[in-house]
Amino acid sequence: MSASASAIRLGVVGTGYVGLTTGACFAHIGHHVVCGDIDQRKVDLLNDGQIPIVEDGLEQIVRDARSAGRLEFVLGAAAAAADADIVFLCVPTPQSEDGSADLSYIEKAAAQIAPILKPGAVVVNKSTVPVGSTLAVEAVLQRDDVFVVSNPEFLREGTAVGDFLQPDRVVIGSANRAAAEKVAGLYDSIDTLIIITDPASAETIKYAANGFLAMKVSFVNAIAAMCEAVGADVTAVVEGIGSDKRIGRQFLNPGPGWGGSCFPKDSRALVKIAEDHGYNFSMMKGVVEVNDEQRARMIDKVARAVGRHHSNLTGVTVGAMGLTFKAGTDDLRESPAMAIIAELRRAGAVVRAFDPTTCGELSPHQELALAGIELTSALIDVTDGADVICVFTEWPEFAEVDLEQVAQRAGAGTTMVDMRNLFDPADVKNTGLGYDGVGRR
């Protein structure tokens, strides 16, 4: 339920994944929000009620907030920041090969809003930024009467709306207590822990959280490899360790490796930030290496399933179930599926794929990323004549596929490489298909 209208006026610069979710959710709980973007086409789409990303519940709260007159979309950062009490910077921070972040988008946005910010305004870094970025934004603004605060986001793709409205915590970093409390006040209607600290600590919390979660995934993938070596079943092992309250069950699902817009970028950035300050973060380097190794192991599984070496898959047809880095999103960025498919195609394989998010009209980004992959309009069609079937993404509807029909369409002797352990091995084998999961006997 949304709160009553707030006298606080918010500006949000950027309507990407973080900016759109942030703006819509703040409007949902009662604040007046103006979101600005440099893409006129995107602004027009949003004003027409069209949401450019797949995110459960987001379309409805955008529609409701706009109907209530609390959410606007405008062209440009300055238009979003005009008359705003608090401005959130939610722009990209792309990463270079060495792991360092490109702050040019944030600096450009800060420069654009600096002349029009009203005295006493608060500028908030919401994007994931390197430690010390608060000071960098202050240097660009050059406004003694404006305060800069760090308020990192902890949104998971697919559950972002719930994560914003029912968060585990809200982290705010500022050298000015009054500015921090002003930002904290925006969350008054949300029952959660508010952590107010210094900017460097707030920025580090964001990286440390994602780094730790990536470590859990890499750990369970390494354990899965060990289970295959010693003849153990990772399903039982995960149940055993996950029931320990000190460890917990979340993020202990073996798979093809982590991906998406956060874990790869933040893990490498954590290593780079530590390196820049004289610390060799060898543990985090290992987390990244294990993830790379896991993708290589999946490629070897596919090659073994067709009796080939991974470097020569000419003439092999791969049926791919899923393309996104996880279920519930249309995000292909750093997707393990896309990385593995690229290697399979490089070795000569033909890839036929289905994903629920690629059935309709493709965006320019999707068209570029999926070039060379044969897309089908139905899941079962990827199995036609497939030499090997790969389950890349854990879409729940995949588990409902008729395995008998899969076996008939694929043909005798075809193996399913289940990289998400989505299926019961016995059910698959009973159809005459071969089965190879991750860490399963």
Domain boundaries defined on the chain: 9-197, 232-436
Please check whether residue 211 is in contact with residue 416, taking contact to mean a CB–CB distance below 8 angstroms. Answer: no
Q: Residue 115 carries which side chain, given as an amino acid letter?
A: P
Count of CB atoms situated within 10 Å of the CB of 198: 14
Nearest to 222 by CA among 192, 257, 269: 257
Active site residue 262: yes
Q: How far apart are CA 93 and CA 107, in angstroms?
A: 10
Q: How far apart are CA 77 and CA 113, in angstroms?
A: 6
**pTM for the complete prediction?**
0.92
- What's the confidence (pLDDT) of residue 222? 98
Please check whether residue 255 is in contact with residue 225, taking contact to mean a CB–CB distance below 8 angstroms. Answer: no
- What's the confidence (pLDDT) of residue 121? 97
Please check whether residue 423 is in contact with residue 396, taking contact to mean a CB–CB distance below 8 angstroms. Answer: no
- CB pairs under 8 A, 24+ apart, for 245-254? 250/216, 251/213, 251/216, 251/217, 251/220, 252/216, 252/217, 252/219, 252/220, 253/217, 253/220, 253/394, 253/420, 253/421, 254/220, 254/221, 254/223, 254/224, 254/421, 254/438, 254/439
Nearest to 256 by CA among 355, 342, 325, 356: 325
Q: Do 232-436 and 9-197 have the same topology in CATH?
A: yes
Q: How far apart are CA 391 and CA 373, in angstroms?
A: 16
- What's the confidence (pLDDT) of residue 99? 78
Please check whether residue 127 is in contact with residue 207, taking contact to mean a CB–CB distance below 8 angstroms. Answer: no
Q: Thinking of the domain 232-436, which architecture would CATH place it in? A: 3-Layer(aba) Sandwich (3.40)
Please check whether residue 86 is in contact with residue 121, taking contact to mean a CB–CB distance below 8 angstroms. Answer: yes
pLDDT digit string (tens) for 367-386?
A: 999 999 999 999 999 999 99
- What's the confidence (pLDDT) of residue 5? 62
Please check whether residue 256 is in contact with residue 321, taking contact to mean a CB–CB distance below 8 angstroms. Answer: no
Residue 3's Cα: distance from chain center in Å? 29
- What's the confidence (pLDDT) of residue 363? 80
- What's the confidence (pLDDT) of residue 132? 86
Q: How far apart are CA 403 and CA 333, in angstroms?
A: 30
- Only one residue has tokens 């079943």, namely 233
- What's the confidence (pLDDT) of residue 7? 76
The two tokens of residue 387 are: 């030499």
- What's the confidence (pLDDT) of residue 361? 83
- What's the confidence (pLDDT) of residue 101? 81
- The segments of the chain whose pLDDT lies below 70 read 1-5
* Exposed/middle/buried for residue 22 (C-beta within 10 Å: 0-12, 13-18, 19+): buried
Please check whether residue 189 is in contact with residue 170, taking contact to mean a CB–CB distance below 8 angstroms. Answer: no
218, β-bridge pairs: none
- What's the confidence (pLDDT) of residue 127? 86
Helix, strand, or coil (residue 242)? helix
Of the candidates 35, 227, 262, 390, the residue annotated as catalytic is: 262
| CATH of region 9-197 | 3.40.50.720
